[in-house]
């Protein structure tokens, strides 16, 4: 069956015109911001968007502001035709695919900076990351004006940062997190998994295995510090390294946990390298 092409707009003015017409007709609008290289995790975001709104917009923009100079901005996988066909098949209504000049015109000088939840974990390993994410997501929310915007829980800290930012800036939008989509062995789907060699992909199974172990050990009353050590050791044994962090923190505040059995709502957070690929994951206890 031939698939109707997905309408695409590349300017903020065109995006606003389409969304304004939908809203004038009383329709509820959802936005799914992405950087493309779409996979089933993104399709779960589109399905969740369609369940919550009459119209679904997906954006694709590989945001230079959230990559440090030594990171993978140039190598980041790009393929709009494939992405667009996947979005159309999933029932998305519109693709917003601006270029860098539309998003960051000459003279652009503003940054959104979120404190608190953006500071630990990724905030330590990638100090510029959340500034770039918060700035571009604030812009996308203001450009599109959706009723609801959806983000994957795989980037759990990012979700908390965006929720905080929307609350603090009084953005009239509901921010919704969608559970992580996983491969059969439990590895979180990620556009960056495409960087893994076949051998590394096999070794990557150690990550969900270590997460499962951590959750079970914590539920059995294990001490956070011991469990963090065991996860570290099992990832190192499987060939991961360096390990940026293995930390068990409160899932709402990202505060460190004190000694003793972990309280409900705790989460295990890991970021570790396998060769040249940095994998992150988080599981609730
Ligand atoms: O999670 C992502 O793909 C990106 O960080 C986002 C939210 C689209 C902002 O560029």
Question: Is residue 9 helix, strand or coil?
Answer: strand
Supply 189's token pair.
């789907």
Same domain, 158 and 17: yes
For residue range 36-65, list pLDDT tens digits in order.
Answer: 999 999 999 999 999 999 999 999 999 999
pLDDT given at position 4: 76
Same domain, 93 and 41: yes
CA separation, residue 155 to residues 5, 167, 180, 214, 224 (Å): 30, 19, 9, 19, 21
In this prediction, residues 182-187 reach a mean pLDDT of 98
Same domain, 165 and 252: no
Q: What is the pLDDT of the chain when averaged over all its residues?
A: 97
Q: Does residue 160 belong to any structural domain of this protein?
A: yes
Give the global pTM. Answer: 0.97
Which residues lie across from 281 on neighbouring strands?
A: 270
pLDDT given at position 67: 97
In this prediction, residues 254-263 reach a mean pLDDT of 90
pLDDT given at position 3: 61
Residue percentage of the chain with pLDDT more than 70? 99
| Domain end residue (candidates: 129, 150, 178) | 178
Q: Give the CATH number, domain containing residue 52.
A: 3.40.50.620
Domain hosting 266: range is 191-284
Q: Does residue 2 belong to any structural domain of this protein?
A: no
Question: Is residue 269 helix, strand or coil?
Answer: strand
For residue range 73-111, list pLDDT tens digits in order.
Answer: 999 999 999 999 999 999 999 999 999 999 999 999 999
Same domain, 80 and 197: no
Instruction: Give ligand 1 pocket residues (Cβ under 6 A).
Output: 33-35, 63, 66, 133, 136-137, 155, 158
Same domain, 158 and 219: no
Q: Does residue 266 belong to any structural domain of this protein?
A: yes
Pick the catalytic residue from 9, 30, 36, 42. 42
| Domain end residue (candidates: 151, 178, 205) | 178
Q: How far is the CA of 130 from the centre of ligand 1 (A)?
A: 10
Closest residue (by CA) to atom 5 of ligand 1? 133
Closest residue (by CA) to atom 8 of ligand 1? 34
pLDDT tier, 264 (very low <50, low <70, confident <90, very high otherwise): confident
> What is residue 64's DSSP assignment?
G
For residue range 159-181, list pLDDT tens digits in order.
Answer: 999 999 999 999 999 999 999 99
- Mutating to test ligand 1, I would choose from 31, 32, 35, 57 the residue with most ligand atoms within 8 A of its C-beta, which is 35
**39 counts as catalytic:** no
Q: What total of structural domains would you count in the chain?
A: 2
pLDDT given at position 240: 98
Same domain, 131 and 243: no
In DSSP notation, 202-242 reads HHTTHHHHHHHHHHHHHHTT--HHHHHHHHHHHHHHTT--S
Q: Give the CATH number, domain containing residue 280.
A: 3.30.1300.10
pLDDT given at position 260: 87
Q: What is the crossing angle of helices 224-237 and 206-219, to 10°?
A: 160
Q: Does residue 118 belong to any structural domain of this protein?
A: yes
In this prediction, residues 116-143 reach a mean pLDDT of 98
Same domain, 163 and 253: no
Q: Exposed (0-12), middle (13-18) or buried (19+): which is 54, by Cβ within 10 Å?
A: middle
Answer whether residue 255 shows pLDDT above 60: yes
Q: Count H helices and E strands in the chain, helices first.
A: 10, 9
Same domain, 47 and 96: yes
Same domain, 254 and 219: yes
Q: Which atom of ligand 1 is nearest to the CA of 162?
A: 7
Number of CB atoms found within 10 A of residue 169's CB: 13
Q: Does residue 32 belong to any structural domain of this protein?
A: yes
Same domain, 126 and 105: yes
pLDDT tier, 1 (very low <50, low <70, confident <90, very high otherwise): very low
Q: Exposed (0-12), middle (13-18) or buried (19+): which is 224, by Cβ within 10 Å?
A: buried
Same domain, 145 and 272: no
CB 189 within 8 A of CB 270: no
Select from 161, 203, 199, 205 the least CA-distant residue to 182: 205
Same domain, 260 and 125: no
């Amino acid at each position: 069956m031939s698939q109707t092409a997905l309408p695409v707009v590349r300017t903020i003015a065109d995006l606003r015109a389409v969304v304004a017409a939908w809203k004038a007709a009383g329709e509820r609008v959802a936005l799914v911001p992405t950087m493309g290289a779409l996979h089933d995790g993104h399709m779960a975001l589109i399905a969740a968007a369609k369940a919550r709104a009459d119209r679904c917009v997906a954006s694709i923009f590989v945001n230079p502001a959230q990559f440090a100079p030594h990171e993978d901005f140039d190598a980041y996988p790009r393929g709009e035709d494939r992405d667009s066909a996947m979005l159309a098949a999933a029932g998305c209504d519109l693709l917003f695919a601006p270029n860098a000049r539309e998003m960051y015109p000459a003279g652009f000088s503003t940054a959104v900076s979120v404190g608190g939840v953006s500071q630990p974990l990724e905030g330590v390993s990638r100090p510029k990351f959340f500034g770039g994410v918060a700035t571009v997501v604030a812009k996308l929310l203001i450009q599109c004006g959706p009723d609801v915007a959806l983000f994957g829980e795989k980037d759990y800290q990012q979700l908390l940062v965006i929720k905080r930012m929307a609350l603090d800036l009084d953005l009239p939008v509901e921010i919704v997190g969608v559970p992580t989509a996983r491969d059969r062995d439990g590895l979180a789907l990620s556009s960056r998994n495409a960087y893994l060699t076949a051998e590394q992909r096999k070794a990557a199974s150690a990550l969900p295995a270590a997460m499962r172990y951590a959750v079970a050990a914590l539920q059995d009353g294990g001490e956070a510090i011991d469990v963090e050590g065991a996860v570290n050791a099992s990832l190192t044994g499987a060939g991961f390294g360096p390990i940026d962090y293995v930390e068990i923190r409160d899932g709402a505040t990202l505060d460190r946990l004190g000694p003793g059995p972990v309280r409900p709502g705790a989460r295990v957070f890991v970021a570790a390298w396998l060769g040249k690929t940095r994998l992150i994951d988080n599981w609730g206890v």
